[in-house]
């Protein structure tokens, strides 16, 4: 109970700290954009009487109260999933995942709140009250000033939205870490976006650079027009024409500069992403091109160093795994001096069959590993049966027939579970017959796993050609003849034909076989 109360208390503290950060950021952004920029434009650009200044201040106050009410309503709807997940003592996995995603979306939601309830909640009542006061004669301002005020307010809101986006992006980091840790502790799984891009770098940089470059010029042009409205009309018109030309040039430069900046950031990220895609596909030879002179150079160098380490570890793991297979096979063969090397020979013959059939390298690698361990189940067979010289009784043969299933069960015990999963079908099925009279499952034809069919041929060939204490191995030509006779009944017809033909050609032309 105390632990649950402690978690609830910790969640409440995180939620309270999150709200405090968001409120602090909102007040900071509002002071800069709305009060600082917007207020300065109204009170330092317009030439009004004290009475009119008071009326304008009242309009702004009323509008801001309406704006705050609307924005708070939307804000608490946006934050509800986060609040539910943090304040509950035992939130579900779905609730934590929803809170995690919503927290990531909060910077985008901050922009939407700023451009919709914030902007519209401020400008609609402000414009309505200003037009009402002008119509009543309480404000002595030209009507087109209201239109200019709308444009200025839109630009100020855009500036505020940009500030809110970046401040919120920083504010959400602690809460994201808290939600992830809580989900990991409760459910043993991490939360991640899985590569999902909620807002692209291109969009962020291009819009930010555009706003930074274009809005100050536009604000200056509009406010200068208001000031010049009281100057001689010809001078004002000339200034406006000049201002428009400069503004168009500035906008073009802002767009071009934003494009260059976003491309400069995107290029190294794309380079690393492409290299990461190759690594995910198992290619550890890939390297990201280190052609950058800024901080991305460190990132690329670190990535390349990481891939080099992964490649070395992969090679070491492959060597260890190969040694592991060979050791298991050697341990099995060591039980009987007369069958020593059987597993290795069967693996070599199986590999030959696979190559003749045109199998891919991954298939051949799997075939070789499976063939090395095909008889691993014989570890579970008693020595008195396994090492018996002469003919086995029916009961003893039934014990021998259990070794494919025993081998499968032994390999299933190896962790991790997927390490041996691909070997299981071949180990279990290497004594199945093509006509369905084999064991342990009586599979027929191509229902028998392909690897099992190949190993069955190699296993039979080695068994016939190897010496035993109670008999000598038969000549290879005789063993090949038996394989050929059993095509389509005991063994796969195509694989058997390929193997018999190749071995026969090699026997007739030893020089070609050795080369």
Q: What pLDDT shows up at residue 1?
A: 39
Those residues with Cβ within 8 angstroms of residue 477's Cβ, 6 or more apart along the chain or in another chain: 504, 507
Q: What pLDDT shows up at residue 46?
A: 61
Domains, the chain, in order of start with CATH, read: 2-198 (no CATH), 335-514 (1.10.3210.10)
Distance CA 304, CA 286 (A): 8
Describe the crossing of helices 144-171 and 201-228 by its angle, rounded to 10 degrees: 150
Distance CA 242, CA 250 (A): 12
Q: What pLDDT shows up at residue 45?
A: 59
Report the phi/psi class of residue 48: left, alpha or beta, with left for phi > 0 and alpha for psi in -120 to 50.
beta
Using a 10 angstrom Cβ sphere, with 0-12 exposed, 13-18 middle and 19 or more buried, the burial of residue 277 is exposed
Q: What pLDDT shows up at residue 339?
A: 57
Those residues with Cβ within 8 angstroms of residue 181's Cβ, 6 or more apart along the chain or in another chain: none
> What pLDDT tens digit does each residue of the chain (515 aa) get?
344 545 555 778 888 999 998 888 888 777 666 655 555 555 555 667 788 888 888 988 898 899 889 988 999 999 999 999 988 888 999 999 999 999 999 999 999 999 999 889 888 998 999 999 988 888 888 887 788 778 778 877 888 888 888 888 888 888 988 998 999 988 988 888 877 888 887 788 778 877 877 777 776 766 666 666 655 555 555 666 666 676 676 677 777 777 777 777 778 888 888 888 888 887 888 888 776 767 777 888 888 889 888 888 888 877 777 777 777 767 766 666 555 688 889 999 999 999 999 999 999 999 999 998 888 888 887 777 766 767 778 888 888 888 999 989 988 887 777 778 899 999 999 999 999 999 999 999 999 999 999 999 999 999 899 877 666 889 999 999 999 999 999 999 999 999 999 998 877 765 544 44
Q: What pLDDT shows up at residue 226?
A: 63
Q: Could you tell me the pTM of the whole model?
A: 0.58
| CA 83 to centroid of chain Cα atoms | 27
Q: What pLDDT shows up at residue 515?
A: 45
Name beta bridge partners: 468: 471
Q: What pLDDT shows up at residue 452?
A: 95
Q: What pLDDT shows up at residue 415?
A: 73
Q: What pLDDT shows up at residue 354?
A: 96
Q: What pLDDT shows up at residue 512?
A: 47
Contact 210, 162 (CB under 8 A): no
**Site of tokens 């991490």:** 190
Q: How far is CA 381 from CA 385, 404, 406, in A?
A: 7, 11, 9
């Amino acid at each position: 109970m105390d632990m649950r109360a402690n978690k609830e208390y910790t969640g409440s503290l995180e939620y309270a700290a999150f709200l405090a950060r968001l409120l602090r950021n909102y007040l900071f952004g509002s002071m800069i954009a709305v009060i600082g920029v917007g207020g300065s434009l109204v009170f330092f650009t317009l030439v009004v009487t004290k009475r009119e200044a008071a009326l304008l201040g009242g309009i702004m106050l009323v509008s801001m109260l309406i704006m705050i009410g609307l924005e708070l309503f939307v804000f608490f709807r946006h934050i509800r999933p986060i609040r539910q997940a943090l304040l509950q003592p035992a939130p579900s996995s779905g609730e934590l995942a929803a809170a995690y995603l919503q927290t990531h979306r909060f910077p985008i939601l901050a922009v939407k709140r700023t451009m919709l309830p914030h902007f519209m909640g401020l400008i609609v009542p402000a414009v309505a009250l200003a037009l009402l006061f002008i119509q009543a004669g309480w404000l002595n301002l030209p009507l087109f000033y209201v239109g200019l005020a709308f444009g200025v307010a839109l630009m100020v809101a855009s500036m505020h939205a940009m500030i809110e986006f970046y401040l919120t992006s920083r504010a959400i980091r602690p809460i994201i870490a808290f939600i992830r840790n809580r989900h990991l502790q409760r459910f043993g799984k991490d939360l991640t976006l899985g590569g999902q891009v909620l807002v692209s770098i291109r969009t962020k940089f291009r819009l930010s650079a555009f706003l930074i470059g274009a809005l100050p010029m536009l604000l200056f042009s509009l406010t200068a027009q208001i000031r010049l409205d009281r100057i001689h009309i010809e001078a004002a018109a000339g200034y406006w024409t000049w201002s428009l030309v400069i503004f168009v040039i500035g906008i073009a430069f802002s767009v071009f500069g934003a494009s260059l900046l976003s491309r400069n950031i995107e290029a190294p990220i794309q380079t690393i992403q492409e290299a990461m895609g190759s690594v995910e596909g198992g290619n550890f030879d890939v390297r990201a091109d280190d052609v950058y002179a800024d901080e991305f150079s460190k990132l690329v160098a670190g990535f390349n160093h990481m891939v080099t380490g992964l490649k070395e570890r992969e090679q070491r793991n492959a060597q260890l795994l190969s040694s592991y297979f060979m050791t298991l096979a050697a341990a099995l063969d060591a039980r009987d001096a007369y069958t020593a090397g059987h597993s290795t020979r069967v693996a070599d013959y199986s590999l030959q069959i696979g190559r003749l059939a045109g199998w891919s390298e991954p298939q051949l690698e799997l075939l070789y590993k499976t063939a090395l361990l095909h008889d691993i189940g014989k570890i579970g067979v008693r020595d008195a049966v396994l090492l018996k010289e002469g003919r086995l009784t029916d009961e003893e043969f039934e014990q021998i027939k259990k070794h494919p299933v025993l081998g499968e069960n032994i390999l299933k015990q190896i962790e991790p579970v997927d390490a041996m999963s691909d070997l299981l079908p071949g180990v279990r099925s290497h004594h199945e017959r093509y006509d369905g009279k084999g064991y342990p499952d009586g599979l027929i034809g191509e229902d028998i796993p392909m690897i099992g069919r190949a190993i069955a041929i190699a296993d039979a060939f080695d068994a016939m050609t190897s010496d035993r204490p109670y008999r000598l191995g038969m000549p290879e030509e005789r063993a090949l003849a038996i394989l050929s006779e059993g095509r389509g009944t005991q063994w796969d017809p195509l694989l058997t034909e390929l193997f018999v033909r190749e071995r026969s050609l090699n026997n007739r032309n030893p020089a070609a076989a050795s080369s």
